[in-house]
Structures are given as structure tokens and as C-alpha cells.
């Protein structure tokens, strides 16, 4: 149990506006999960299409008016 990202005892007094968080044990170590995904060609996070991979670079125009 926590309040605003800090673990507290369950009998901690609450104040108005406190954000109460309930934590649970990890099912698998995050490093092990990433390693398993990588071994099988997977990845964490959003799908490749929405992550920006494969997008064409944008030609930016600098302060001089020339392309960078």
C-alpha cells in the first residue's frame, strides 16, 4: 500500500486528496520478461507501427531557411 508513490503502513492516516495506491507482487522479473520477448522476436510497449519505427525522416527547415 502506498500514498503518492511512497510505501506506507496499512494503518497510515489519510488526508484529503491523498492518492492511495495498492501494489501487488511482480509475476516475473522485468529483465527476464524482456529477455524472453527478445528471444522470441517480441518487444515491449506499443506495436511497431505506432512506435515510429519505419517512418520517413522529416526534412526540417532551420532558422536560415535552408534544410538541415
Q: Is residue 29 part of a domain?
A: yes
Domain housing 14: 2-39
Q: Is residue 8 part of a domain?
A: yes
Q: Is residue 48 part of a domain?
A: no
Q: Is residue 33 part of a domain?
A: yes
Q: Alpha carbon of 24 to those of 14, 31, 44, 67: distances in Å?
A: 20, 18, 20, 51
Whether pTM > 0.85 for this model: the answer is no
Q: Is residue 35 part of a domain?
A: yes
Per-residue pLDDT of the chain (68 residues), as tens digits, is 899 989 998 888 888 999 999 988 889 999 998 898 888 887 766 655 555 555 555 566 655 666 55
Q: Is residue 47 part of a domain?
A: no
| Count: domains in the chain | 1
Q: Is residue 49 part of a domain?
A: no
Q: Is residue 31 part of a domain?
A: yes
Amino acid at each position: 500500500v502506498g500514498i503518492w508513490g511512497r510505501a506506507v503502513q496499512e494503518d497510515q492516516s489519510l488526508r484529503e486528496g491523498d492518492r492511495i495506491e495498492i501494489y501487488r507482487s511482480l509475476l516475473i522479473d522485468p529483465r527476464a520478461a524482456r529477455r524472453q520477448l527478445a528471444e522470441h522476436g517480441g518487444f515491449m510497449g506499443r506495436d511497431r507501427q505506432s512506435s515510429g519505427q519505419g517512418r520517413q525522416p522529416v526534412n526540417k527547415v532551420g532558422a536560415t531557411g535552408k534544410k538541415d
